[in-house]
């Protein structure tokens, strides 16, 4: 048995290196599997173009994860979007956020159209709503669901932070 240092053999070094390499790969594998660090809403996004008649109607804000207070953060106000067949919309009490706190509320009207608003996975298009000629503080919204009735999702910041507002069709 060869030794490069007193009392330490190449075989012992080989065992230590194998154990270290195995430990590294296990940590890497476990670390990559932490789905709570990923966009947990990605699977719910609509990746096929919905029919316009399936998305018309009123959507209510039912959840938000931007702050820890849930919908109570908007002080009992009802936030809703009304999408009309003529391409117009009305929104009431749409909250804008700064550092996880409601900064103000927007109530306005304008025009909308269904369009791709991003992508997920292997560059699958995500469908949602883009707003025209309206207050620029209203963000684009993604549709959720694989079939009608669809929901709406507004992602705040990095999708991996999972800070969202969720709207359900009334």
What's the pLDDT tens digit per position in 6-36? 665 667 656 665 655 444 443 443 444 444 4
Of the two residues 12 and 99, the one the predictor is more confident about is: 99
Q: Which two tokens stand for residue 116?
A: 């791709």
pLDDT greater than 80 at residue 146? yes
Distance, in Å, from the CA atom of 62 to the CA atom of 55, rounded to the nearest integer, reads 17
Q: What is the mean pLDDT of residues 93-101?
A: 93
pLDDT greater than 70 at residue 86? yes
Alpha helices in 33-155 (DSSP H): 52-55
**What pLDDT score does 123 carry?**
86
Give one word for 25, left, alpha or beta, with left for phi > 0 and alpha for psi -120 to 50.
Answer: alpha
């Amino acid at each position: 048995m060869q030794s490069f240092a007193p009392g330490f053999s190449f075989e012992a070094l080989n065992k230590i290196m194998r154990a270290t390499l195995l430990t590294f790969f296990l940590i890497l594998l476990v670390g990559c599997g932490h789905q709570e660090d990923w966009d947990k809403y990605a699977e719910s996004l609509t990746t096929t173009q919905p029919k316009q008649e399936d998305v018309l109607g009123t959507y209510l804000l039912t959840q938000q994860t931007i702050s820890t207070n849930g919908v109570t953060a908007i002080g009992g106000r009802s936030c809703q979007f009304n999408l009309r067949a003529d391409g117009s919309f009305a929104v009431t009490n749409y909250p804008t956020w700064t550092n996880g706190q409601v900064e103000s509320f927007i109530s306005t009207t304008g025009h909308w159209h269904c369009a791709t608003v991003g992508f997920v996975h292997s560059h699958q298009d995500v469908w949602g709503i883009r707003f025209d000629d309206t207050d620029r503080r209203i963000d684009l919204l993604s549709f959720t669901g694989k079939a009608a009735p669809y929901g709406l999702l507004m992602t705040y910041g990095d999708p991996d932070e999972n800070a969202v507002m969720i709207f359900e069709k009334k």
